[in-house]
C-alpha cells in the first residue's frame, strides 16, 4: 500500500505541465467547499468554523495519505443525521472523541485490508440509507429556511409535527432570503458569465451583501447565532477523554467509521469512473483514518470523501493530490483573512444549500426505479431502512 501522493509523484504528475491545472482546480474546489463546509457543520450541531477546520485538516491529510489521486475530503451531508444526534446527546466534545475513535477504527480497517469488502455493501441498503438521510436533512432545515422557532422533539416524526404546526408563523424576510438563495443555487450556473461560479457561492455572496446593507430584523445570521467566526486557525487541543466516555461512544464511533468508509470508497469509485484512474481502497481507509484522528485535535469534526467536491475537482482538471492540498490552503487563507465578513451570512442561505444537497442525496429517480424494477426482497430492505431512519432519526 502506497499513498496516492507518492504514486502521483512517481508518475510525473508533479511535473511543471501538470502543476497549473491542479492548482486552479484546487482553488475552485476550495471556493465550492466554503459554503458547504459551514452548512454541514451547523446542521451537525457544530459551529461553522469547525466545518472549515475539518475541510482544511482532513482535506490535506486525505490528499497526502489517502489512496485516491483525486479524492477531496471534508464534512458531508451523509454525516449530518449521525453527527447531530451524537452532538445532541454527548455535546461537541463527545462528537470529537467519537470522531477520533472512528479514525482509529478506519485506520485498523485499512491496515487489515478490509477496503475491498466494504465496497460490496448491497445497493438497496445504500439507496434506502441515502434517501432517508436526504429526507431528514430536508425537514431539519425548515427552521432556518422559514425562520421558525427551535423544536424540542428528539425524533424525526416529532420534529416534523412541531415544524408543521409552526409553519403558519414563518418569518417572511427569512423565507424570502431563503427562496432567493435556493433560486441562485439552482439557476445561477445557467446565467452567462456565472457558469464557472458555484451556485452556493453566488447565493452566499448575494444574501450576505443584502443582510450587510439592510440589516433585516429577525433574520438569524452567523453573527447573531454564533458570534461570528474566529480569525485564524485553531491550536492543537486534545479533547478530554475518560474510560467511561470511551465505552459509551464505541457505538457512535463505529457508526461514523462505517459510514465514512462506505462514502469515501463510493466517492473514490465514482472518481475512477470519471477520470479513468484506479484507487487503493485500503490506503484510502488509512488516509481517512489519519484525517479523522487529527481533525478533532484541531477543532474539526468527522470527514469523509465528498463526491460532489471530488467531481468538481475532476471537471476542472484535477489529476493529482496537489489539487486537494491547494483546496485546503485556499480555505486556510479564507479563514485567516476573510473570517470577519461572515457575521452577516444569513443561516437561511445554508438551509437553501442543504435543500439542494438533500434532494441530490435522495436520488429520487433511482429510488423510484428501484421500487418499480428491483426484486421484492431488495424493495423490502430499502423500505425497512427508510422506515428505521424515519423513526430513529
Domain assignment of residue 355, yes or no: no
* 70-98 core/surface letters (b: 16 or more CB in 10 A; e: else): bbbbbbbbbbbbbbbbbbeebebebbbbb
DSSP of 170-227: --HHHHHHHHHHHHHHHHGGGSTT-TTS-HHHHHHHHHHHHHHHH--TT--BHHHHHS
pLDDT at residue number 212:
98
Domain assignment of residue 6, yes or no: no
User: Measured between alpha carbons, how far is 61 from 48 in angstroms, rounded to an integer?
Assistant: 20
Q: Give the count of domains, the chain.
A: 1
Backbone angles phi, psi at 73, to 5 degrees: -115, 155
Residue 30: closest CA among 318, 380, 376, 367: 318
Question: Tens-of-pLDDT digits for all 393 residues of the chain?
Answer: 799 999 999 999 899 889 999 999 999 999 999 999 999 999 999 999 999 999 999 999 999 999 999 999 999 999 999 999 999 999 999 999 999 999 999 999 999 999 888 767 788 888 888 888 999 999 999 999 999 998 877 778 788 899 999 999 999 999 999 999 999 999 999 998 888 899 999 999 999 999 999 999 999 999 999 999 999 998 999 888 888 899 999 999 999 999 999 999 989 998 999 999 999 999 999 999 999 999 999 999 999 999 999 999 999 999 999 999 999 999 999 999 999 999 999 999 999 999 999 999 888 888 898 999 889 998 998 888 888 877 666
pLDDT at residue number 155:
74
Domain assignment of residue 234, yes or no: no
Taking a C-beta distance cutoff of 8 angstroms, is the pair 46, 92 a contact? yes
Taking a C-beta distance cutoff of 8 angstroms, is the pair 299, 49 a contact? yes
Domain assignment of residue 151, yes or no: no
Taking a C-beta distance cutoff of 8 angstroms, is the pair 207, 181 a contact? yes
pLDDT at residue number 127:
86
Residue pointed to by grid coordinates 486557525: 233
Strand 304-305 and strand 73-74: pairing?
antiparallel
Domain assignment of residue 171, yes or no: no
Domain assignment of residue 192, yes or no: no
Domain assignment of residue 219, yes or no: no
Taking a C-beta distance cutoff of 8 angstroms, is the pair 216, 177 a contact? yes
Domain assignment of residue 106, yes or no: yes
Domain assignment of residue 20, given as a range = 14-139+243-342+360-392
pLDDT at residue number 119:
66
Backbone angles phi, psi at 14, to 5 degrees: -105, 10
Taking a C-beta distance cutoff of 8 angstroms, is the pair 266, 307 a contact? yes
Residue 256's H or E segment, with its range, is helix 250-275
Amino acid at each position: 500500500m502506497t499513498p496516492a501522493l507518492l504514486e502521483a509523484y512517481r508518475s510525473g504528475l508533479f511535473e511543471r505541465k501538470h502543476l497549473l491545472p491542479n492548482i486552479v482546480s484546487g482553488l475552485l474546489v476550495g471556493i465550492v467547499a466554503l459554503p458547504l463546509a459551514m452548512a454541514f457543520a451547523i446542521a451537525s450541531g457544530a459551529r461553522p468554523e469547525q466545518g472549515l477546520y475539518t475541510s482544511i485538516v482532513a482535506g490535506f491529510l486525505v490528499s497526502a495519505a489517502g489512496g485516491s489521486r483525486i479524492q477531496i475530503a471534508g464534512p458531508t451531508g451523509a454525516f449530518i443525521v449521525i453527527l447531530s444526534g451524537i452532538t445532541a446527546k454527548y455535546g461537541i466534545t463527545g462528537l470529537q472523541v467519537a470522531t477520533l475513535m472512528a479514525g482509529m477504527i478506519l485506520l485498523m480497517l485499512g491496515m487489515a485490508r478490509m477496503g475491498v469488502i466494504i465496497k460490496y455493501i448491497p445497493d438497496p441498503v445504500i439507496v434506502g440509507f441515502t434517501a432517508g438521510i436526504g429526507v431528514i436533512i430536508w425537514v431539519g432545515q425548515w427552521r432556518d429556511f422559514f425562520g421558525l422557532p427551535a423544536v424540542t422533539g428528539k425524533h424525526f416524526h416529532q420534529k416534523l409535527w412541531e415544524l408543521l404546526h409552526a409553519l403558519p408563523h414563518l418569518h417572511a424576510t427569512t423565507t424570502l432570503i431563503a427562496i432567493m438563495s435556493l433560486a441562485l443555487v439552482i439557476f445561477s450556473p445557467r446565467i452567462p458569465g456565472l457558469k464557472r461560479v458555484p451556485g452556493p457561492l453566488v447565493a452566499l455572496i448575494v444574501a450576505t451583501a443584502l443582510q450587510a446593507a439592510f440589516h433585516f430584523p429577525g433574520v438569524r445570521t452567523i453573527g447573531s447565532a454564533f458570534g461570528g467566526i474566529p480569525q485564524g486557525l485553531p491550536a492543537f487541543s486534545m479533547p478530554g477523554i475518560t474510560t467511561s466516555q470511551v465505552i459509551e461512544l464505541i457505538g457512535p464511533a463505529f457508526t461514523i467509521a462505517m459510514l465514512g468508509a462506505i462514502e469515501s470508497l463510493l466517492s473514490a469509485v465514482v472518481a475512477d469512473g470519471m477520470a479513468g484512474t484506479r484507487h487503493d481502497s485500503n490506503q484510502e481507509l488509512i488516509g481517512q483514518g489519519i484525517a479523522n484522528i487529527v481533525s478533532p485535535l484541531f477543532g474539526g469534526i468527522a470527514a469523509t470523501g465528498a463526491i460532489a467536491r471530488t467531481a468538481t475537482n475532476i471537471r476542472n482538471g484535477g489529476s493529482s493530490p496537489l489539487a486537494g492540498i491547494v483546496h485546503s490552503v485556499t480555505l486556510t487563507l479564507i479563514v485567516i483573512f476573510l473570517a470577519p465578513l461572515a457575521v452577516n451570512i444569513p443561516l437561511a442561505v445554508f438551509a437553501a444549500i442543504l435543500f439542494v444537497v438533500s434532494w441530490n442525496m435522495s436520488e429520487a429517480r433511482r429510488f423510484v426505479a428501484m421500487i418499480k424494477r428491483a426484486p421484492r426482497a431488495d424493495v423490502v430492505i430499502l423500505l425497512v431502512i427508510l422506515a428505521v431512519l424515519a423513526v430513529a432519526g
